[in-house]
Structure 1
């Protein structure tokens, strides 16, 4: 069985591709290299360059690589950008998924793992977010992920394809420095950027109903996330038939932004204040933490790494790309 990983040269995708290959799965990657980096992949993983909107290229890849399962990670993922460019996000995330599903069903692919997001929940007012928590996305990005889940499940039922939708929480860390995230769109690299520039990291709001007044979030190490994809792929392969599964992929532990800022200061050796408090941002919920019960039950998976390992490994990757950070 060969698994095709779309977006497999990206930050998360490269970790997934490596984890599955190292576990003995036959893996190939399909990526347009718009954000991916081919050098993240070992030479024994085939890379087919193409866009998920290109049906002819998808057909060639599925045929030439003899694909029997797909892990779909290729997507645009910046929440703020999606608000500014909703048409682009719906075209690339949702129409791209439609084209891909048309190709995989025509090719007789029987297993499909979809990269979803905790953004489908919006601002849930619960202690732990379960898979039955109402989905009320606040951005076009979150909307495309929720609609993508609907489309994947409906296609699976109609065509006898087993599907799994994995709702990621906040992904961080790296298996090795050269695989680290190159973007500066999430809180940990944002903190690193401020420190590298000799500035103080920012916290938005310290008057939330949480233990220290700052927002609480659930962080998942990218290596653990990659193992969750492997577990989902193997679960679908083993069940030998249609069926759908939707699970949260998080740590189940809440970390406040203040705690994270203090940890970043400790790991990086930042000598100034760990953070400066700014006014709240609109739409930020006080607490978003996953329940991992269903993932443990259905996939036999649970995270193994803590937030310190995420920050430490992310900092090593940051310093590899930005050596001036070490001189700061």
Structure 2
């Protein structure tokens, strides 16, 4: 059985769905969220868990035969960064403790494409040394720390670490007004028959539809063998605002959507993730492009608030 902490969040739920589709038994944990997405109802075991509670975490091993762990649980930073770092570090260490205690095969943990900030080479690949540039958000700072904490904690344990440098993921279950991704708020405005603020056509960046991200993580977790400990998880393609607007027009025809020419801040290139390593090791290829992802998301939002 594969354990996914934070398994009712956006990425966790889509990872669980992909693992179930691959024929695996899955247990997901959630701290505050109780509603199970319709596509997981009756297909996974749900455990309420505060990952900062070490005893409760380890007790999961008494109830389930855990073979692998995907650690995606996280908190939301507030005004006190120390409290945020303390909570998420304790949760990570408890998950690592469980991995060693149970002797699981693999421990996959969420990092971020943000760890590459400061590198000018595009696309960003796992072979790039991580820069010492200042990062813009506490979440990225924590993700950057997650990587050595995980690899050093599992060294000599027999548990293989998998560092998931996850790209800009969006889709079903994401906050429709999320400040971290431009796509759900843009679609939400159109669904309300509002005129969204015009975007510059050539601006863009990394983008991955949540079902694709979940399938990539599932494939990495269950692959027979992996050569590396670190993998980019995304679509492997640059997504522009022009792609977004054209896809929305196709899914919701008749809406008046404006595009501004060029780039907001002048010439340049937007970063995105190279997924050659992921694809060569697992055979992963994204199932969704901009048009099919937007169409699927609009259909989902017809019956779901997020």
1:125 aligns with 2:125: no
Q: Gaps (5+ residues) in structure 1?
A: 175-179, 207-211, 324-328
Residue equivalent to 1:74? 73
Distance 1:87 1:184 in 2: 26
Residue equivalent to 1:189? 184
SS at match of 1:100: helix
Residue equivalent to 1:229? 217
Check 1:202–1:132 CA distance in 2 against 1; reply closer, same or farther (3 A cut): farther
Distance 2:230 2:104 in 1: 19
Residue equivalent to 2:257? 273
Residue equivalent to 1:106? 101
> Contact 2:14/2:210 (CA < 8 Å) preserved in 1?
yes
Distance 1:126 1:118 in 2: 13
Distance 1:232 1:322 in 2: 30
Check 1:264–1:38 CA distance in 2 against 1; reply closer, same or farther (3 A cut): same
> Contact 1:172/1:314 (CA < 8 Å) preserved in 2?
no
Residue equivalent to 1:326? none
Q: CA deviation at 1:72?
A: 1.0
- 5 Å matches for 1:1-328? 2-34=1-33, 37-40=35-38, 41-76=40-75, 82=77, 84-135=79-130, 136=133, 137-174=135-172, 180-185=173-178, 186-202=181-197, 206=200, 212=201, 214-235=202-223, 238-239=224-225, 245-269=229-253, 271-275=255-259, 286-321=269-304
Q: CA deviation at 1:289?
A: 1.5
The ranges of structure 1 where at least 4 consecutive aligned residues each deviate by more than 6 angstroms after the TM superposition are none
Distance 1:202 1:153 in 2: 43
Distance 1:312 1:123 in 2: 34
Q: CA deviation at 1:144?
A: 0.9
Distance 1:316 1:131 in 2: 35
| More helix as a share of residues | 1
Q: CA deviation at 1:190?
A: 0.8
Q: For residues 19-50 of structure 1, what are the alpha-carbon distances to aligned partners after superposition, in whole Å with 9 as ceiling and x for unaligned?
A: 1122111211111134x632442224211111
Check 1:181–1:132 CA distance in 2 against 1; reply closer, same or farther (3 A cut): same
Q: Gaps (5+ residues) in structure 2?
A: none
Q: For residues 158-202 of structure 1, what are the alpha-carbon distances to aligned partners after superposition, in whole Å with 9 as ceiling and x for unaligned?
A: 42211111112122345xxxxx43442121111022224443223
SS at match of 1:287: coil
Distance 1:270 1:129 in 2: 37
SS at match of 2:104: coil
- Count of equivalent residues: 297
Q: CA deviation at 1:250?
A: 1.9
Distance 1:269 1:259 in 2: 15
Q: TM-score, normalised by structure 1?
A: 0.80
